[in-house]
Amino acid sequence: MHSFRCALTALGLVLLGSICRAESVVHSKEHDFIVRTLVSDLDHPWGMAFVSADEILVTERPGILNLISAGFTKRRAIRGLPPIAQAGQGGLLDVAVHPDFEKNRLIYISYAASGADGEGTEVARGRLLGDRLEDVEVIFRALPKSGGGRHFGSRLLFAPDGYLYITLGDRGKRPQAQALSTHPGSIIRVHDDGRVPEGNPFVSDPLARPEIYTYGNRNVQGISVNPVSGRVWAHEHGPQGGDEINIIEAGTNYGWPIITYGKNYGVGTKIGEGTHKEGMAQPVHQWTPSIAPSGMAFYDANRFPRWQGSLFVGSLKFSLLARLSVDGDRVIDEERLLTDLYGRIRDVRVGPDGFVYLLTDEANGLLLRLEPVAP
């Protein structure tokens, strides 16, 4: 399963095997494909973003940001990152590239950071110059910080409206998701420099955090734009059952922990008031039992023409890739791929080349690429 790895390391540069081993053919409803292992020996990789057609940034949760280039044969560790806290599920999380990266060289990272009261999710940006981040600045801090190592989120998305969306978790403190005075348990919308958009739904509420765009979210680890409608979709972890996919609308309350399809871990007792309540949104799709979703991407490319419009979601619990068929605002079918073949799938992206890329959240994590089999 692992690609060949050269034993040559210098100045943070790792040379990887230029010949990547192709796996056996995988059969699915719409396309047969192979899974190619591009990079191995990643320490719990979490997020990825393409900076060009043949360069990709990959985060490792312990605090390493990699630039993988030259046809996946070279790997550099990027220097100049802000201090990153290792706290349970926290660490270096997602990475995103500014829409005008070719001009401004800006990249964005989300991560757990320490403060006087514990840890919390932060977002910083900097200019990628060679193998270093320059002009690094923190543009968002989720407040309050708190103890415990759960539910940091966090995905980053530049949406068609030009704003940066930041997904958060409730930090394991359920009431925060219903409190507009705190960031945890919400989705954030800001300008690319962290300023608050005038059109955010709670900017006129003096008791609310103005960056909040939605709330009642438990732990959001996937966000993507539907290429047909242009609307933002996101998924979040439920407790024992009740993982959700939601369409993100300004000011919407998604219910956690007042309504949920999940139960309390272990004992299976009821959480909140049930599954429905007036003024709280219902999910587009939910999984019970939970699949523990992480990473997701709509497919809108030409390599797999019959996958056009499909929504791909990685599963941590069942070590699989879910392909959801979407019709408008509805999920109408689900196909499960790669079950128990590669481990916990942490991130899913569609590359500029039209292939599907995956990260596996393992101590020896992999960067994988799905390639169609010629008919």
What's the CA gap between 215 and 354, in Å, rounded? Answer: 33
Q: In what order do the strands lie in the sheet with 320-327?
A: 293-298, 311-315, 320-327, 330-337
What's the CA gap between 369 and 23, in Å, rounded? Answer: 10
H helices present in 169-219, as ranges: none
Whether 156 and 165 have beta carbons less than 8 Å apart is answered as yes
Secondary structure tally for the chain: helices H, strands E = 1, 26
Answer yes or no: 151 catalytic. yes
What does the buried/exposed string (b/e) look like for 141-157 if buried means 16 or more CB atoms within 10 Å of the residue's CB? bbbbbbeebbbbbbbbb
Residue 10 DSSP one-character state = E
Token reading at 183: 């960031």
- Number of alpha carbons in the 13 Å side-chain half-sphere of residue 60: 23
- Number of alpha carbons in the 13 Å side-chain half-sphere of residue 303: 17
Which of the following is catalytic: 2, 27, 44, 151? 151
Q: Where does residue 36 rank: exposed (0-12), middle (13-18), buried (19+ CB within 10 A)?
A: middle
CB atoms within 10 A of CB 63: 18
Q: In what order do the strands lie in the sheet with 356-360?
A: 33-42, 365-372, 356-360, 345-350
Element (H or E) spanning 101, and its range?
Answer: helix 101-104
Q: Residue 207 contacts by C-beta under 8 Å, 6 or more apart in sequence?
A: 180, 181
Query: Which residues are 357's β-sheet partners?
Result: 349, 369
Whether 333 and 325 have beta carbons less than 8 Å apart is answered as yes
Element (H or E) spanning 334, and its range?
Answer: strand 330-337
Active-site residue list: 151
